[in-house]
Structure 1
Amino acid sequence: MLSILIPIYNFNVIAFVRDLQQQAYNCEIDFEIICLDDFSSEQFKLGNKELNNFDSVIYDELNQNIGRSKIRNLLAQKAKYECLLFLDCDSAVVDSYFIKRYVDAIDNSSVIYGGRSYKEQSPKKSDEHFRWWYGVQRETIRLENRNKQPYDSFMTNNFLVKKTIYQSIKLEETLKGYGHEDTLFGLELKKQNIRIKHIDNPLFHIGLESFEEYILKTEEGIRNLKYLIETNKIDTSVKLYRYYLLLKKFGLTNKIWRYYSNNKKEILQKLQENEPNLRWFDLYKLGYLISLTKP
């Protein structure tokens, strides 16, 4: 009935998989959990080898890193059941009814998205504070707000899809590294009039990057966005692209670029405050996107 698919990269998933396994048993369904490691560091591979002893769990390791999109497409190919539940490895269940809510919500014609959440308490490591703050402020979206923009609110961290639907679209494998594979998938669902059904069934995102790591990943995602713009694969439903076009329309891109270039260090400092104004982060992302388009 249900294939639970977890791509792993540099994270210990033992506790997460154990919780999912027990919840699936409680639902009395046929299931499998496939965990595929995307060439993690040895310490994580050694820790996750315990999965080989788990019933109904398949664990395998790749001998090279193939990236976020390819590994999810490979997991879908390996799955034996028609319902595919994709979950990010750096997640934790919020309660003991996570699997049951998905089983109850299964719909033959829809993609089902459960959401993302963050723990209420700020992380102990100060350099993870910004990633937590951004997640709380921007990624924890209430169900009623997600339903207002069902395609824009979609992420690949926690969703259920029928295998036939997934195989007809798949994730874009030309994108390198981090960012916007979920954007393209959501846009393709929209083009094909495949409904995204939002439910209140989030996972905690617990794999928080340091400030420096997250800035680098953000820049990597914006480089992917530039590629999508150049290849006409996105539309103005992507907020950063929409704002970029507005600035271009009113002849303000050079002004923003100059401010970004002259004040980059100060902007990054502002983002490391205890409760940073995320409009500075929006400005940083716009400035970086514009810098990529400069001759």
Structure 2
Amino acid sequence: MTAKGRVFANPTWKVASPVVSVLIPFLGDDPSVLLKLLDEEAGAVDGSVEIVVLDDGTRDPELTKRLTAVIKAMTLPARLITLPRNEGRSIGRNRLATAARGGSLLFLDSDMRPDYRRFLRDWADLVAREDPPVAFGGISLLQAPVEPRFAVHRAMATKSECVAYTVRARQPEKYVYTSNLLVRRDVFAAESFDPGFSGWGWEDVEWAMRVSGRFRVLHVDNPATHMGLDTVAALAGKYEQSAPNFARVVDRHPAIVSTYPSYRAARLLKRLPGIDQLRPLLRRAAETEWLPVPTRAFSLRLYRAALYAGAIA
């Protein structure tokens, strides 16, 4: 394996002339189920779609072996890139774009599941019909696990992420996530993801802020389920990682971010005496299982705002 990673392609890869490249990064997950679901649509897209999967440094030979077998058996042209070390969310997606051959790039997270069996065909049809610069298909929780430990995340995602395309279109740059995002190749060449972001969060929203100033961002109704709901503890950990990224976005796009409720809440909390003592109390309330889910979700949102208050100037 070289520093650039090991590459495996299935038999149909060499002869394909794809229009859309589906780009799936992962770290520690197993995207086999997603790959098999996508491959069920191979006949419907008639060679117009390819799959590129990036293992961003999981370093699990058994997982690599399983994925290689899955990709080898796929009808869709597919390629697996296995990196020797983690490069991060932005760099990994930029690398995927370089490896793709289609004129449009569909970024799809490994824990997503298409909600309808016309998912790839609808994306390919949209490209053939309109060739949009950027299009976001939407996120749902239709197939996500319904377990008490994920109730807070479900409540928060339902309110802030699982938004109808007609509502998303009113603030097109705000509701853009790499979980189900189509980008035309020339647009991505003009505006790639900022490698200065590290850890979790905000690199896709910041990218959309830059892109929306130059290109049309279309919102469509072609959702996929986010299967990876988190516990409160895991979600709080991600928010902790995201605070420096949030500050980076504020520094680069103050006019846009100033309209966001998360920013306004952070500014208010920053003026509050004792904010450092308040943060752990908010997290504890969010993790308290006997409290009502809406109360816990509100506490977790305040915890995130309190983290962001400490990160912004």
TM over 0.5: yes
Q: Report SS of the residue matched to 1:102.
A: helix
- Matches of 2:280 and 2:47 in 1, distance apart? 58
Is 1:64 the counterpart of 2:82 in the alignment? no
Whether 1:117 aligns to 2:135 is: no
Is 1:182 matched with 2:227? no
Show the 5 A alignment for 1:55-204.
Answer: 55=75, 56-106=77-127, 107-119=130-142, 122-124=145-147, 126-192=148-214, 194-204=215-225
1:179 aligns to what SS in structure 2? coil
* Identity between Structure 1 and Structure 2 (%): 22
CA contact (8 A) 1:110 1:161 kept: yes
C-alpha separation between the residues in 2 aligned to 1:52 and 1:244? Answer: 45
State the distance in 2 between where 1:273 and 1:101 align.
42
State which drifts further: 200-209 or 269-278.
269-278
How far did 1:166 drift?
Answer: 0.7
Runs of 4+ in 1 over 6 A off after TM superposition: none
Assess, with a 3 A threshold, how the Cα gap between structure 1 residues 41 and 127 changes in structure 2: closer, same or farther: farther
CA RMSD across the alignment = 2.4
CA distance in 1, matches of 2:161, 2:221: 14
Structure 2 portions without partners, runs of 5+: 1-18
Over residues 91-146 of structure 1, what are the superposed CA-to-partner deviations in whole Å (9 max), with x where a residue is unaligned?
A: 1111211112112222334201100010367534x433322332223211012111
Q: Deviations over 1:141-169 (max 9, x none)?
A: 01211111111111111011111111110
Q: What is the CA distance between 1:204 and its match in structure 2? A: 0.6
- Whole-Å Cα distance in 1 between the matches of residues 224 and 141 of structure 2? 8
For residues 273 and 142 of structure 1, what CA distance do their matches in structure 2 show?
29
For structure 1, which runs of at least 5 residues remain unmatched after alignment?
Answer: none
Alignment-derived partner of residue 308 in structure 2:
289
CA contact (8 A) 1:152 1:237 kept: no
**TM-score between both structures, scaled by the size of structure 2:** 0.83
CA contact 1:51–1:57 (8 Å) conserved in 2: no
Residues 282 and 299 of structure 2 are in contact (CA less than 8 Å); yes or no, is this contact kept in structure 1?
no
User: 1:72, 1:271 → 2: CA distance?
Assistant: 37
Q: Is the 1:175–1:224 Cα contact (8 Å) retained in structure 2?
A: yes
Q: Does 1:23 align with 2:57?
A: no
Question: CA 1:47/1:272 → structure 2, altered by over 3 Å: closer, same or farther?
Answer: farther
- Deviations 1:244-274, CA, capped at 9 Å, x for gaps: 34x28xxx62247267247335432357745
User: Kindly tell me: are residues 265 and 225 of structure 1, through their superposed partners in 2, closer, same or farther at Cα, counting changes over 3 Å?
Assistant: closer
Q: Cα deviation per residue 1:153-211 (whole Å; 9 max; x = unaligned)?
A: 1111101111111111001100111010011111111221x111111111111122332
TM value normalised by structure 1: 0.87
Look up the equivalent residue of 2:244 and give its one-letter code: R
